[in-house]
Amino acid sequence: MSTQIELLEAEVKAAIGRAVKAGLLTLDTPASITLDRPKNRDHGDYATSIALALAKAAGKKPGEVAQIISRELEGAAGVLRVEIAGPGFINITLTRASQAELVLTILKQARDFGRTDALRGVRINLEFISANPTGPLHLGHTRWAAVGDALGRVLTAAGADVTREFYINDRGNQMDLFGASVEAAALGNPIPEDGYKGEYIADLAKEVVASNPAITELAQGARHEAFREAAYSLQLRDQQRVLDNFGTHFDIWFSERSLHHQGAVEHGVEKLRRQGHVFQAEGALWLRTSNFGDDKDRVLMKSDGSFTYFSSDTAYYINKRERGFDICIYMLGADHHGYVGRLKATAACTGDDPEYNIHVLIGQLVKIMEGGQEVKLSKRAGTIITLEELIEKTGVDAARYTLIRYPVDTPMVIDIDILKRNTNENPVYYVQYAHARIAAVLRNAAELNISVNLADFDPTQLTHDRENELLGALAQYPRVVASAAQMRQPHRIARYLEELAVTYHGFYADCRVLPLGQENPTPLHTARLLLCSSTKVVIANALDLLGVSAPERM
RNA sequence: GCGCCUGUAGCUCAGUCGGAUAGAGCACCUGCCUUCUAAGCAGGUUGUCGCAGGUUCGAUUCCUGCCAGGCGCGCCA
C-alpha cells in the first residue's frame, strides 16, 4: 500500500531513531521527514535536508549530523548508496529494482492509486458559483465551475466526504428587476432603468409566453410575479444544463428563499443571541463581528424590521454546520474578498473555530483576450461571454484544463484565440497525447501477444535512466494529490500532469517498448509495457481529478 | 485613508514546512520519422525573481518599509 517514498521516509526516520538511541545524536526524532526529488540527477534519487534542519537542535555541525544519519541509513532496504553533499544534504540512491516495484503497486490499485486518507472522515461542504438565477453563467463563474469541481474531486480523493452545493440567490430586488425585465420584453414595453438588457431576456420572454399564453392577461401584480417565477425557473434550468455539459455537478441546489421559509434566519439570529454577540443600536439589530477581527459590526435586522443579506449569510452558515459539515469551504470572486473577515467573524460568533470550520478561497478575476484585445465584460451592456460560448469555442477539456491550471489567487489572462487552436500551445493536448500514445502502444502489444501478466514483471529489467525518471515521477503522485487537497490547490494536479507527460515522452523517445520486426518478446518488453500501463493509469486518474477526459486516440 | 491579491525570461505563467546551478510552454534558431501516434524528442538563445533593508549556514520563498497594477471597503442584493 505504501509507496516507495513513504517507505524511504520511514527508513530515514528509523535511522535517526537508531542514532539517537546509540547516543550519537541528542534530539527529538522529527515527526516527519521530507524527501525531495533533486533537480540534478547527480544528487541521487532522493535528497533530504534533514541534517541541516536538525543541526542546531543536535548542537553539531550539519555535516556531522549528516554523517551520523547516513551511516545509519546505509544498508537500509532498497538503498543502494548514500552520499553527503554541500553543507549537509543527504543524497540517497535507490536500487533500480526497488523503485520498479511501484509498477505493481499502481497496477494493483488501478483507479485507487493516488487516493489517500489524509482527510478521512472529514465532512466538507464545498460551495461555489452560487450565481443569481437572473442570467446565463458567464466567465466570472467559469473559473469556479472548473476549479470548484476539480477541488471537490481532489478532496474526495484525499478521503473527505464532500458535498458540492450551489446557493441560489433567488430572493430580493435583483429577482424583481429580472422578472420585470422579462415582463417588459414580453409586453413590448421598455426595459426598466436598472433592468437586465441582454438578448437572453427577450428569448426568455418568448419562452415564458409560449408555455403560458394566458400570462399576459393576468392582473398586473399577479402577472409580474408569474413572469418572475417562470423566468426564474427557466434560467435556473439553463444554468443547470450548461454546468451539466461542463461536467460540473452539484449535490445540493440550495435556495435562499427556502432558508427564509424554514425560519432559518430567525433561528440563526437566536443562536447568535445566545452566544452573546447580538446587540440593539440605532433601532437596528447588530452582530458584534468586530470582536473577532472584522473591521466593523454588521447589521442583522434593519431598523425597518427587515433582515439584511448578511443575516441570510450567517443563517446559511449556521444551517450548514447544523447539517453536520465540519468544514465549510466558500469560493468567492475577488470582488467579494471583503466578505472574508465577516464570514470568519460570523463563524467565531457562533462559537466555531474560524481557522478550521470555515475556509474562504478568493479567486482573482479572469481577463479575456480575443483578437489581441481585452474583452470587457458587462452584464448591463450585454457584452458578457457565457460559459456556454466558451465551451463552444474551445471544448470542455481545453476550457477546464486552462482554468484549473493556475492558482486561483493569480489574476489570469485567457486568450480565446490560443484556446481555440488544437495545438500544443494548450498543454492539455500535450498531456492527453501522452495518454493516447500509451493506449496505442498497448493496442499494438495486444496484437503481438506480449505478456502483460503482473507475475511476469521483472523489476530488475528497468535500468535505463529514462525508466528511473518515469518511476520517480509516478511515485510523486499520491503526495501531489494529498498536498493539492490540503492546500486546496487543484492546479497542482495539472502541473504534475505536465511533468509526468514530459517524462513519459522522453522515455518513449529513448526506450523502445515493443519488439522490433521479427524480434521475440523479452522480459524487458514486458517490463516496459507494464511501466507504460502504470503511467497510463496515473495520467487517467489525475485527468479525472480535473474532470478532463483521457482519450484512447487522438 | 484602510484591507485583500499580484509583481519571476520578449509573452502567458510554475516554483508545499526557507535548500544545491531559478523552471515550463509559446516565440526564435538547429537536428531527428523506409519499425510502438512527429499533437513527439534532442540541442541552442533568453533573468537585477519590483526596489531597499532585516532574520541565518543559506532567502524567489519568512519579516518590515517603499513603488507599481488589480479588487474591495453600505441599515445594497
Domains of chain A (ranges plus CATH)? 4-94 (3.30.1360.70), 128-259+364-421 (3.40.50.620), 425-546 (1.10.730.10)
pLDDT at residue number A63: 85
- Nearest Cα neighbor of A426 from A451, A455, A397, A466 is A397
Residue A414 in this model has a pLDDT that exceeds 80:
no
The CA distance from A419 to A402, in Å, is 8
- Å separating the CA of residue A377 from the C1' of nucleotide B36: 48
Q: Check if the beta carbon of residue A94 is closer than 8 Å to that of residue A8.
A: yes
Q: Tell me the pLDDT band of A1, cut-offs 50, 70 and 90.
A: very low
pLDDT for A379 equals 55
Which positions in strand B are less than 7 Å from the protein's CB atoms? Answer: 2-7, 12-17, 19-27, 35-42, 57-58, 69-77
Strand, helix or coil at A166? strand
Estimate in Å the CA A425 to C1' B32 gap, whole number: 21
Give the Cα separation of A121 and A159 in Å (integer). Answer: 7
What is the arithmetic mean of pLDDT over A169-198? 90
Predicted local distance difference test score (pLDDT) of residue A377: 60
Q: What is the mean pLDDT of residues A479-488?
A: 91
Higher pLDDT, A249 or A14: A249
Supply the DSSP string of A385-450, one letter for each residue.
Answer: PBHHHHHHHH-HHHHHHHHHSS-TTS-EEEEHHHHHS-STTSHHHHHHHHHHHHHHHHHHHHHHT-
Measured distance CA(A149)–CA(A129) in Å, rounded:
10
Q: Please, which residues have CB within 8 angstroms of residue A323's CB and are 6 or more apart in sequence?
A: A125
Residue A431 has pLDDT above 90, yes or no: yes
Q: Which residue is nearest to nucleotide B69 (CA to C1')?
A: A411
Q: Which residue is nearest to nucleotide B27 (CA to C1')?
A: A425
Alpha-carbon gap, residue A164 to A184, rounded angstroms: 36
Rounded to an integer, the average pLDDT of A28-32 is: 73
Distance CA A312, CA A521 (A): 68
Question: Cβ distance A250 to A165 under 8 Å?
Answer: yes
Q: Average pLDDT of chain A? A: 89
Q: How far is the CA of A249 from the C1' of B17 (A)?
A: 34
Nearest to A483 by CA among A468, A472, A496: A496
Instruction: Give the mean pLDDT of A289-295.
Output: 89
Q: How many whole angstroms separate alpha carbon A176 and alpha carbon A231?
A: 11
- CA A430/CA A518 separation, integer angstroms: 32
Confidence class of residue A491 from pLDDT cuts 50, 70 and 90? very high
